[in-house]
């Protein structure tokens, strides 16, 4: 978390003119930002980067390649980035602290808040240390590259950079030291993947994920069931009992389910937990998040799309080809057949209403002289003219009949289909 907690202590004409942070006053200035200034974001919210109305730690002036002024600041993810200067109102520290005694020393709440911000700012990805393994395959999102020589001033040699995407030409893209998208293109690099952590390296114990339903496990000798048996194994069938420290396992070759503590079983093979397997090619899904962002440009949250290929991630590691982009499984939700049927029903209904509205009538509003097709067991499929409409005792049409040219009555408008409205009949035109 990089946004700052401040107290507004001065406003003029609805605009903030003075703020306070840990007993230190900052006043609004029209000068360019300097190291130590605080910036109020006033325009252009960027998800995960900056939010309008929040305050940020400014790091000074930056000139882009056109010479236009921008400001360096620490974004919501704790990264040092730069943005347009007009997106910020700058506040500068007043050297003289406020005179009240309570302002000379931060309050307990202020100290707690500062500690929370410092904890949030810790990059947990760097603790414990990362370790990488050199690989030889096509690059994927989430892999890492390392350059032996510096391709630009903003990409350092011998540093690992995470691949954020792979373009249509197969070239990995990274974020350089200037916060920009960098195309590795023709630059020589080595490809790596993240492997064990420092804890695993020192202890020699492989840190694995929690056992999941479908994993195959071996029953260890310290369980009472193993006193008179050997080489027992089974499959985890339930993890809801984990809350009480147990895993439910179906024992092989026995019609028996038992619960085991974590130290009484050992995972010998993992089931395929790829979340993409929950989806099928051709099924309909709703995009619930990420619309318009990386990999999902041109797609909108809430819209329904078709799964094109659950195994084609287009270089976006772990994603699914859906619609015109690539989505993470957690960004999608399945649409039931009932919901799809209801959507189609509403579309048909709206289309029917629009058709009647176009001729100036309400749905299923018939008039004498209309040409209709009969959908009745005795005259099914015949085309005839409505010569009289008996609208029933109250004139609503309920209990009334439609009469055709031969004098036979139908049971109502639900068994006739409009072919030509009387207003459009050429044979009746003057």
pLDDT for the residue 405? 63
Q: Are 213 and 191 in contact (CB under 8 A)?
A: no
pLDDT for the residue 98? 47
pLDDT for the residue 372? 85
End-to-end CA distance of the chain: 78
| Token pair in block for residue 337 | 């057949």
Give residue limits of the domains in the chain.
Answer: 7-119, 216-269, 275-335, 366-428
Q: Are 286 and 304 in contact (CB under 8 A)?
A: yes
- The CA-based diameter of the chain, rounded to the nearest angstrom, is 103
* Residue 16 three-state SS: strand
Q: If you count them, how many residues does the chain have?
A: 430
pLDDT for the residue 286? 92
Q: What Å distances lie between residue 213 and 140, 240, 263, 274, CA to CA?
A: 28, 10, 17, 13
pLDDT for the residue 402? 66
Closest CA to 336 of 376, 304, 291, 371: 304
Q: What is the chain's alpha carbon radius of gyration, rounded to the nearest angstrom? A: 35
pLDDT for the residue 136? 78
Closest CA to 40 of 94, 85, 106, 98: 85
Considering the domain 275-335 in this protein, what is its CATH number?
Answer: 2.30.30
Q: Are 298 and 324 in contact (CB under 8 A)?
A: yes
For tokens 């099914």, what's the residue? Answer: 380
The upper half-sphere exposure of residue 378, i.e. CA atoms within 13 Å in the direction of its Cβ, equals: 4
Under-50 pLDDT residues of the chain:
1, 97-104, 120-128, 197-208, 227, 229, 243, 398-399
Four-way CATH pick for 366-428: 3.40.220.10, 3.30.460.10, 2.30.30.30, 3.40.50.300: 2.30.30.30
| Token pair in block for residue 229 | 């048996």
pLDDT in tens, 214-259: 778 777 766 666 545 456 777 777 655 554 557 777 777 766 677 7
Task: Report the alpha-carbon distance of residue 73 to residue 87 in Å, rounded.
Answer: 11
Q: φ, ψ for residue 422 (rounded to 5)?
A: -60, -30
Task: Report the alpha-carbon distance of residue 64 to residue 72 in Å, rounded.
Answer: 11
pLDDT for the residue 108? 58
pLDDT for the residue 6? 86
Q: Are 295 and 312 in contact (CB under 8 A)?
A: no
* Residue 133 three-state SS: strand
pLDDT for the residue 406? 58
* Residue 327 three-state SS: strand
Task: Report the alpha-carbon distance of residue 388 to residue 394 in Å, rounded.
Answer: 16
Task: Report the alpha-carbon distance of residue 237 to residue 14 in Å, rounded.
Answer: 61
Helix (H) or strand (E) holding 159, with range, is none
pLDDT for the residue 307? 92
Task: Report the alpha-carbon distance of residue 388 to residue 368 in Å, rounded.
Answer: 6
Tell me whether domains 275-335 and 366-428 share a fold. Answer: yes
pLDDT for the residue 40? 92
| Token pair in block for residue 185 | 């293109």
Task: Report the alpha-carbon distance of residue 283 to residue 129 in Å, rounded.
Answer: 42
């Amino acid at each position: 978390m990089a946004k700052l907690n401040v107290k507004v202590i001065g406003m003029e004409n609805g605009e903030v003119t003075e703020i306070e942070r840990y007993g230190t006053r900052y006043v609004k200035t029209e000068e360019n930002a300097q190291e130590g200034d605080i910036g109020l974001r006033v325009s252009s919210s960027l998800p995960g980067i900056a939010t309008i109305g929040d305050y940020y730690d400014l790091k000074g002036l930056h000139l882009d390649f056109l010479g236009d002024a921008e400001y360096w600041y620490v974004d919501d993810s704790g990264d040092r980035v730069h943005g347009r200067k007009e997106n910020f109102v700058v506040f500068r520290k007043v050297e003289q602290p406020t005179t009240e005694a309570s302002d000379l020393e931060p309050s307990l709440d202020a100290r707690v808040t500062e500690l929370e911000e410092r904890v949030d700012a810790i990059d947990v990805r760097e603790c414990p240390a990362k370790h990488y393994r050199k690989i030889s395959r096509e690059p994927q999102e989430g892999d890492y590259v390392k350059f032996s020589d510096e391709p630009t001033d903003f990409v350092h040699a011998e540093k690992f950079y995470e691949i954020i995407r792979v373009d249509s030409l197969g070239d990995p893209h990274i974020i350089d030291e200037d916060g920009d998208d960098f195309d590795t293109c023709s630059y020589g690099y080595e490809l790596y993947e993240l492997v064990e952590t420092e804890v695993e390296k020192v202890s020699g114990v492989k840190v694995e994920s929690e056992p999941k339903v479908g994993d195959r496990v071996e029953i260890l000798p310290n369980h009472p069931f193993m006193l008179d048996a050997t080489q027992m194994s089974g499959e985890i069938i339930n993890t809801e009992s984990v809350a009480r420290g147990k895993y439910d396992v179906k024992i092989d070759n026995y019609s028996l389910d038992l619960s085991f503590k974590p130290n009484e079983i050992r995972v010998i093979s993992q089931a395929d937990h790829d979340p993409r397997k929950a989806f099928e090619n051709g099924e309909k899904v709703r995009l619930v998040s990420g619309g318009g962002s990386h990999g999902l440009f041109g797609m909108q949250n809430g819209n329904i799309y078709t799964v094109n290929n659950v195994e084609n991630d287009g270089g976006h590691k772990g994603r699914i080809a859906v619609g015109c982009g690539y989505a993470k499984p957690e960004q999608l939700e399945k649409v039931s057949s009932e919901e799809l049927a209801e959507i189609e029903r509403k579309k048909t209904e709206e289309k029917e209403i629009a058709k009647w509205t176009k001729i100036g009538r309400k749905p299923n509003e018939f008039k004498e002289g209309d040409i209709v097709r009969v959908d009745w067991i005795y005259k099914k499929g015949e085309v005839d003219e409505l010569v009289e409409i008996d609208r029933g005792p109250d004139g609503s049409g309920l209990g009334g009949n439609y009469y055709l040219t031969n004098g036979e009555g139908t049971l109502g408008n639900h068994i006739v289909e409009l072919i030509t409205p009387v207003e459009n009949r050429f044979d009746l035109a003057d």
